[in-house]
Amino acid sequence: MLSNNQESTRKAEINLRLAQFEFPPMQDVLLIGKRAPIGPEAARKMSDALSPDQYEIISLEHELFEAAVVRRALLKILPPEKLFPVILEEGTRIASENTVIKIQVNATIQVNKVVDL
């Protein structure tokens, strides 16, 4: 039985974590799962609003992913036929149909030329 003179207190503890908003939020590539909470049309609207003309939506015929949002500048360095086998292979290892995967791609072009002296 509770004593009448027992005091009860209610307190709230507030924790803040501040970080800079990553802009644009999708980095280089977004792989959109077939049952993910956002679909290609939503991704297109988002990229058009946040970074107009910088991203391209590519529909995929894949077991897990239905589309990819790719930074256009990246496609100038790596054509889709070279880029997609790599990102899909890695994406498949960690993703499911329900997920959206954000991928950062660092591509370095190495050029060696021999010139006559």
Partner 1 sequence: MITIGDIMIKDVVTISPAASVARAAELMEKFKVGGLPVIDGDKIIGIITSRDIRRAHQNRLVADAMTRKVVTAPPETSLWEAKELIEEHGVERLLVAKDGKLLGIVTKSLIYIESGKHIDPLTGLPRSEFLRHIALKLLQEGNEISVIFIDLDNFGTIDKEIGHESGDQVLKQVAKIFKDMVIEGSDYLCRYAGDEFALITTRPLEEAKKLCFRLLRSLTNHPWPNGTRLTASAGVAGGRRGHPRPGSKCCTVHELINLASLGSTQAKKENTPVVVVGQVEIAKDTTCTS
Residue ranges in contact with partner 1 by CB under 8 A: 35-42, 45, 98
In the complex, least distance from residue 106 CB atom to partner 1, rounded to whole angstroms: 30
Select 51 or 66, whichever has its Cβ closest to partner 1: 66
Q: Could you tell me where the beta strands, DSSP code E, fall in 6-93?
A: 29-33, 55-59, 65-71
Closest C-alpha to 74, from 95, 60, 58, 89? 58
Q: Closer to partner 1 at the Cβ: 40 or 91?
A: 40
Please report how close the Cβ of residue 100 comes to partner 1 at its closest, in angstroms. 10
To the nearest whole angstrom, how small is the minimum distance from the Cβ of residue 18 to partner 1?
26
Q: How far is CA 2 from CA 7, 8, 9, 34, 48, in A?
A: 10, 11, 15, 55, 61
